[in-house]
Amino acid sequence: MRYISTRGGTAPAGFIDAVLMGLADDGGLLVPDAMPQLSPETLEAWRTLSYTDLAVEVLSLFTGDDLTREELQGLVRGSYATFRHPEVTPVQKIGDNLHVLELFHGPTFAFKDVALQFLGNLYAHIAAKTGSIIHILGATSGDTGASAIEGVRGKEGIHICILYPHGKVSRVQELQMTTIQGENVLNLAIRGTFDDAQRIIKEIFADAAFKREYHLRAINSINIARILAQVVYYFYAYFRVSGEADGRRVNFSVPTGNFGDIFAGYLAKQMGLPIHRLILATNENDILTRFVNTGLYRPAAFRSTHSPSMDIQVASNFERYLYYLHGEKPEMVRELMAGFGAQGEVRASGEVLAQVQADFSAYSIENEACLNTIHGHYHGRAYLLDPHTACGVAAAELGAVEGEVTVALATAHPAKFDESIRLREITQTFPESIQALFELPQRQTVVEATAEAVRQKLVPFFGGEAGGTEAQGKAITSA
Ligand SMILES: N[C@@H](CCOP(=O)(O)O)C(=O)O
Domain with residue 356: its CATH number is: 3.40.50.1100
State the amino acid at position 223 in one-letter form. N
Atom of ligand 1 nearest to the CA of 138: 9
Is there a domain that residue 395 lies in? yes
Is 50 exceeded by the pLDDT of residue 474?
no
Is there a domain that residue 186 lies in? no
Is 70 exceeded by the pLDDT of residue 450?
yes
Q: How many CB atoms lie within 10 A of CB 59?
A: 22
434-448: average pLDDT: 97
Give the pairing of strands 98-102 and 91-95. Answer: antiparallel
The residue range of the domain holding 302 is 91-108+229-427
Name 68's Cβ contacts closer than 8 Å, sequence gap at least 6: none
Give the percent of the chain with pLDDT over 90.
94
Which residues on adjacent β-strands are paired with residue 102? 410
Going by the DSSP 8-state scheme, the letter that residue 431 receives in this structure is: P
Which residues on adjacent β-strands are paired with residue 412? 110
State the amino acid at position 124 in one-letter form. A
pLDDT band at 245 (very low <50, low <70, confident <90, very high): confident
Three-state DSSP state, 13: strand
376-384: average pLDDT: 97
Is 80 exceeded by the pLDDT of residue 472?
no
pLDDT band at 216 (very low <50, low <70, confident <90, very high): very high
Is 70 exceeded by the pLDDT of residue 476?
no
pLDDT at 182: 84
Q: Check if 416 is active-site.
A: no
Is there a domain that residue 12 lies in? no
Is there a domain that residue 31 lies in? no
Is 90 exceeded by the pLDDT of residue 463?
no
Q: Which residues line ligand 1 (CB under 6 A)?
A: 140-145, 220-221, 257-258, 260, 309, 316
Q: From the CA of 299, how far away is ligand 1's center (Å)?
A: 17
Going by the DSSP 8-state scheme, the letter that residue 386 receives in this structure is: P
CA 477/CA 71 separation, integer angstroms: 21
Q: From the CA of 219, how far away is ligand 1's center (Å)?
A: 9
Render pLDDT for 322-332 as a digit per residue (tens, 0 to 9).
999 999 999 99
State the amino acid at position 75 in one-letter form. L
Residue with CA at minimum distance from ligand 1 atom 12 = 140
Q: Return the H-helix or E-strand segment holding 282.
A: strand 278-282
What is the sign, positive or negative, of the torsion defined by CA atoms of 290, 291, 295, 297? positive
CB–CB of 173/143 below 8 Å?
A: yes
Q: From the CA of 460, how far away is ligand 1's center (Å)?
A: 26
Render pLDDT for 340-373 as a digit per residue (tens, 0 to 9).
999 999 999 999 999 999 999 999 999 999 999 9
CA 40/CA 296 separation, integer angstroms: 37
State the distance between the two ends of the chain, measured CA to CA, in whole angstroms: 35
Atom of ligand 1 nearest to the CA of 257: 1
pLDDT at 469: 42
pLDDT at 468: 42
Is there a domain that residue 180 lies in? no
Residue with CA at minimum distance from ligand 1 atom 4 = 140
Average pLDDT, the chain: 95
pLDDT at 466: 43
Render pLDDT for 162-214 as a digit per residue (tens, 0 to 9).
999 999 999 999 999 999 988 899 999 999 999 999 999 999 999 999 999 99
Q: What is the DSSP string of 159-194?
A: EEEEEEETT-S-HHHHHHHHT---TTEEEEEEES-H
User: What is the CA 113 to chain-centroid distance, rounded?
Assistant: 9
Residue with CA at minimum distance from ligand 1 atom 11 = 143
State the amino acid at position 258 in one-letter form. N
pLDDT at 243: 84
CA 56/CA 74 separation, integer angstroms: 10
CB–CB of 261/412 below 8 Å?
A: no
Q: From the CA of 309, how far away is ligand 1's center (Å)?
A: 7
pLDDT at 464: 59
What is the number of structural domains in the chain? 1
Is there a domain that residue 456 lies in? no
ipTM of this complex: 0.99
Render pLDDT for 94-125 as a digit per residue (tens, 0 to 9).
999 999 999 999 999 999 999 999 999 999 99
Rg (CA), the chain: 21
Residue positions counted in the chain: 479
Residue with CA at minimum distance from ligand 1 atom 9 = 220
Of the listed ranges 26-35, 89-98, 431-440, 465-474, the one predicted with least confidence: 465-474
Q: What is the DSSP string of 99-131?
A: EEEE---STTSBTHHHHHHHHHHHHHHHHHHH-
pLDDT band at 475 (very low <50, low <70, confident <90, very high): very low
Is there a domain that residue 475 lies in? no
What is the sign, positive or negative, of the torsion defined by CA atoms of 153, 159, 165, 166? positive
Is 90 exceeded by the pLDDT of residue 257?
yes
Render pLDDT for 268-318 as a digit per residue (tens, 0 to 9).
999 999 999 999 999 999 999 999 999 999 999 999 999 999 999 999 999
Is there a domain that residue 261 lies in? yes
Question: Distance of CA 324 to CAs 18, 64, 122, 352, Å?
Answer: 19, 22, 27, 11
Is 70 exceeded by the pLDDT of residue 477?
no
